[in-house]
Amino acid sequence: MKERKKSKLKIASKLYEQMPCEMQNKQQYKNELLWALKLSGIGKTLNIYKSHQHAFYITMQELNYGFTHEQSLLVALLLRMHGKELLHKPLFQSFKTLLPERETLLWLSFIYTLTVFLHEASNSASIEFTYSNKTLTIYTDKPLYLAKEKIKSLEKPLAFAIIIKDESKVPRNKELGV
């Protein structure tokens, strides 16, 4: 279980370093992103339905020791925005003065969501990233069928392509004649 959580954080760190975020200080929000990923399953403790909403409320109420109000709000908002939509506009408008700029929040939300998608479908795969010429390429040694489907519907902060180069071949088995 610990190894799986570490792999999620490793995926996020690699992706965070590769993305062309529109942030002045690229390391400024990395800790909040990693905390959101550590807590990404917290909403499922209550109910699997609308777990991202539960995660938001739990984090807003309970994540206070060692965090500023701005940090706990950012972590909670990242947990809330998991899915197709990168920005929950009513919440963003309510807390706008305490949050990073909209573009920064969109990038953080994109990195968070893509990391969760890849981690859920990766089956402990080795994952690497490159970004150039408005193309994010994801390299992996195992198939990512489920992640491919989810990534197709994922909103992006700006227009760029996502290419997944994985081991899509069906493995051969001599005993079965395949």
Q: What is the predicted pLDDT for the residue at 162?
A: 92
pLDDT at 43: 56
DSSP, res 148: H
**Which 3 state secondary structure label does DSSP give 139?**
strand
CA–CA separation, 38 vs 5, rounded Å? 7
Alpha helices in the chain (DSSP H): 2-18, 30-38, 51-62, 69-80, 89-94, 102-122, 145-152
How confident is the model at residue 139, as a pLDDT?
93
Residue 73, both tokens? 């709000």
pTM of the model: 0.83
* Amino acid making up residue 115: T
Q: CB neighbours of 97 closer than 8 A, spacing ≥ 6? A: none
What is the tens place of the pLDDT at every residue in 100-123? 888 888 889 899 899 988 988 877
Q: How far apart are CA 41 and CA 55, in angstroms?
A: 8
Cβ atoms within 10 Å of 20's Cβ, excluding its own: 14
Indicate the domain borders of the chain.
2-176
> Do 93 and 108 contact (CB within 8 A), yes or no?
no
Would you state the torsion angle of the CA atoms of residues 128, 123, 148, 152, taken in this order, to the nearest 10 degrees? -90
13: left (phi over 0), alpha (psi -120 to 50) or beta: alpha
CB 113, CB 82: distance < 8 Å? yes
Taking residues 36-55, what's their average pLDDT? 67
Token representation of residue 160: 């760029």
Higher pLDDT, 82 or 9: 9
Q: What is the dihedral of CA 86, 35, 62, 103, to 10 degrees?
A: -30
Position 136 confidence tier, pLDDT thresholds 50, 70, 90 = very high
Q: Which fold has domain 2-176?
A: Hypothetical protein af1432 (1.10.3210)
With b meaning 16 or more CB within 10 Å and e meaning fewer, what string describes 106-142?
A: bbbbbbbbbbbbbbebbeebebebeeeeeebebebee
Longest Cα separation, the chain? 63
